């Protein structure tokens, strides 16, 4: 009998990196499900807002950079890192705070932070250190930056005014309105330069990684990529006004200034990249991932044993599930309460009710109830506008960028500051529409108290939501027209407020009765 040996093929077991990637994929999917509202809103912003269209490319770029460095990563053994669990827990807590405050950008930033922390938990600190840039680049997924619009408007206006005066063009400035002999210009929100600033920062960050090896060069180029578009936007505004002035508004008027602006910005970005390439450490290309200097010692560390590693991964999964579990139990929709129509407070003589002005209409987003009231005493007029939210939720909260007293089409905000009104701080906006002037005092009413500060209002909203208490809120505005000086309207509103019951008492009575 002939002995025939049968070759046996070795079983193909998954490699450590294959297992780690599968585990990360499962936990990342669980994280995405638990924070789906933040993920969906982030993707919607990428799609609908041209300022943040780049967000759709960021995950693909990050994955490509990781794939390009896969050979270097294979030299490291993936090892779950329990020391990253506090960072993951902190991000989940940040998501809860963002959801309680109905602050989408906080929820979105918390999701991206949790995703990065989760990568460290699953793959280990050494792998994360080697792939630091692809992980850090994910931060650009967050569509953040709208908070910079007002400061950028103010800087652009002030910078361009100084240049206009430097070349001898007489200039008068009032907030973001600039007057020169040939006409008036407004540094509107679209002219703040935010779109170009964000695009420039994303490109500068990626470019610095591709051509520089030294940290100080990367930092210097990134800082240049931040400062240059801000200065360039001021130069653009200055150039548009000079062209319009020199040509009697035949050039750089209407849509022209948008076309000229994008051409100017493109030239600035190309110049920045050209200059950056002159000081490059190497030709543009994918750098090799830098491995940690210390050798990877098998079995070293707290996660050497399988039990410790699986405990770390189980703890990460439990943290991910704990966030939505707490949110659904404590932060869900409250029970409905009986409603009644809001009624204006009764003013004492000589103030009598009258119709509110037809030329000023504040815009509120998603209020459950609204109130408009007006009073007059002789030649003085005063108005009240109130937006009431029975409970605050996404798209219906007192602190919302869509809640505005100037619409930038008829009325323009020319000044904003905090003043003392009836013994309490108030936000004061000065509005202008042609030859008409209006003063608006406003507050947020949250947790039974008035504040002009949006941050304080959000913090109060967050606390009441996290503790499961009733979340009624309102935004309140008092307004009066004036001819020349806003102090005239402020004095009229002071006299009118003296004829009304205390505003906080009146608002709290609506909660008690409604």
Cross-strand partners of 421:
424
Would the pLDDT of 181 be above 90? no
Give me the domain span that covers residue 214: 147-278
In-domain check, residue 336: no
Q: What average pLDDT does the chain have?
A: 83
Token couple for 177 = 């309105």
If asked whether residues 409 and 485 sit together in one domain, one would say yes
In-domain check, residue 283: no
How many domains does the chain contain in total? 3
Would the pLDDT of 452 be above 50? yes
Helix (H, G, I), strand (E, B) or coil at 72: helix
If asked whether residues 379 and 417 sit together in one domain, one would say yes
If asked whether residues 125 and 247 sit together in one domain, one would say no
Q: Which residue has the tokens 């003043």?
A: 419
If asked whether residues 273 and 364 sit together in one domain, one would say no
If asked whether residues 378 and 504 sit together in one domain, one would say yes
What is the distance between the alpha carbons of residues 436 and 137, in angstroms, rounded to a whole number? 48
If asked whether residues 39 and 71 sit together in one domain, one would say yes
* Model pLDDT, residue 8: 45
What mean pLDDT is predicted for residues 37-56?
91
Q: Which of 263, 295, 330 is a domain's end point?
A: 330
If asked whether residues 63 and 102 sit together in one domain, one would say yes
If asked whether residues 73 and 174 sit together in one domain, one would say no
Q: Which of 237, 263, 278 is a domain's end point?
A: 278
In-domain check, residue 337: no
Q: What's the pLDDT tens digit per position in 466-501? A: 887 766 889 999 999 998 889 999 999 999 999 988
Q: What's the pLDDT tens digit per position in 120-153? A: 999 998 888 888 999 999 999 999 888 888 888 8
In-domain check, residue 299: no
Q: What's the pLDDT tens digit per position in 274-326? A: 888 888 877 766 665 665 555 444 444 444 567 788 888 899 999 998 888 88
Residue of 90, 208, 199, 222 lying closest to 145 (CA atoms): 199
In-domain check, residue 4: no
What element of type H or E holds 110?
A: helix 104-123
If asked whether residues 405 and 476 sit together in one domain, one would say yes
What is the distance between the alpha carbons of residues 447 and 442, in angstroms, rounded to a whole number? 17
Distance of CA 205 to the CA centre of its chain: 20
If asked whether residues 121 and 153 sit together in one domain, one would say no
Helix (H, G, I), strand (E, B) or coil at 453: coil
Number of separate helices (H) and strands (E) present in the chain: 16, 11
Would the pLDDT of 221 be above 60? yes
In-domain check, residue 289: no
If asked whether residues 252 and 319 sit together in one domain, one would say no
Name residues whose C-beta falls within 8 Å of residue 173's C-beta, 6 or more positions apart in sequence.
157, 158, 161, 179
If asked whether residues 126 and 202 sit together in one domain, one would say no
In-domain check, residue 140: no
Q: CB neighbours (10 Å) of residue 44?
A: 12
In-domain check, residue 141: no
């Amino acid at each position: 009998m002939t002995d025939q040996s049968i070759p046996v093929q070795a079983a193909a077991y998954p490699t450590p990196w294959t297992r780690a990637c599968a585990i990360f994929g499962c936990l990342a999917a669980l994280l995405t499900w638990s924070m789906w509202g933040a993920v969906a809103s982030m993707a919607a912003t990428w799609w609908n807002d041209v300022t943040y269209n780049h967000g759709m490319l960021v995950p693909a770029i990050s994955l490509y950079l990781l794939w390009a460095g896969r050979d270097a990563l294979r030299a490291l053994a993936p090892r779950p890192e329990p020391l990253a669990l506090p960072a993951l827990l902190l991000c989940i807590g940040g998501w809860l705070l963002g959801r309680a405050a109905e602050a989408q950008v906080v929820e979105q930033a918390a999701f991206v932070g949790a995703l990065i922390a989760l990568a460290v938990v699953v793959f280990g600190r050494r792998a994360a250190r080697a792939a630091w840039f692809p992980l850090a680049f994910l931060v650009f997924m967050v569509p953040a930056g709208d908070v910079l619009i007002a400061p950028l408007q103010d800087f652009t206006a002030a910078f361009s005014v100084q240049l206009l005066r430097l070349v001898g063009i007489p200039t008068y400035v009032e907030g973001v309105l600039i007057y020169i002999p040939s006409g008036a210009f407004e540094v509107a929100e679209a002219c703040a330069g935010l779109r170009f600033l964000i695009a420039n920062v994303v490109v500068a960050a990626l470019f610095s990684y591709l051509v520089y090896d030294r940290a100080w060069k990367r930092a210097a180029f990134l800082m240049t990529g931040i400062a240059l578009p801000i200065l360039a936007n001021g130069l653009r505004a200055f150039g548009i006004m000079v062209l319009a002035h020199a040509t009697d508004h035949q050039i750089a008027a209407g849509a022209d200034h948008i076309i000229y602006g994008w051409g100017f910005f493109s030239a600035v970005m190309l110049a920045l990249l050209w200059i950056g390439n002159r000081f490059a450490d190497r030709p543009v290309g994918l750098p090799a991932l830098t491995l940690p200097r210390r050798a990877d010692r098998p079995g070293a560390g707290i996660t050497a044993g399988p039990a410790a590693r699986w405990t770390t991964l189980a703890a990460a999964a439990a943290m991910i599930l704990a966030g939505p579990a707490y949110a659904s139990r404590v932060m869900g929709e409250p029970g409905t309460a009986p409603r009644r129509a809001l009624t204006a407070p009764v003013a004492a003589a000589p103030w009598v009710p009258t119709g509110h002005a037809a030329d000023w209409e504040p815009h509120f987003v998603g209020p459950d109830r609204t109130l408009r009231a007006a009073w007059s005493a002789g030649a003085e007029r005063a108005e009240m506008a109130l937006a009431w939210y029975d409970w605050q939720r996404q798209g219906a909260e007192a602190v919302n960028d869509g809640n505005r007293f100037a619409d930038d089409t008829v009325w323009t905000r020319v000044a904003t500051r905090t003043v003392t009104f009836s013994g309490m701080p108030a936000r004061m906006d000065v509005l202008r529409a042609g030859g008409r002037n209006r003063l608006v005092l406003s507050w947020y009413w949250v947790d039974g108290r008035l504040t002009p500060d949006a941050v304080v209002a959000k913090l109060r909203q967050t606390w009441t939501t996290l503790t499961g208490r009733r979340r009624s809120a309102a935004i309140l505005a008092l307004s009066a027209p004036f001819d020349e000086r806003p102090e005239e309207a402020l004095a009229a509103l002071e006299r009118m407020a003296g004829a009304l019951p205390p505003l906080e008492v009146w608002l709290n009575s609506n909660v008690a009765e409604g």
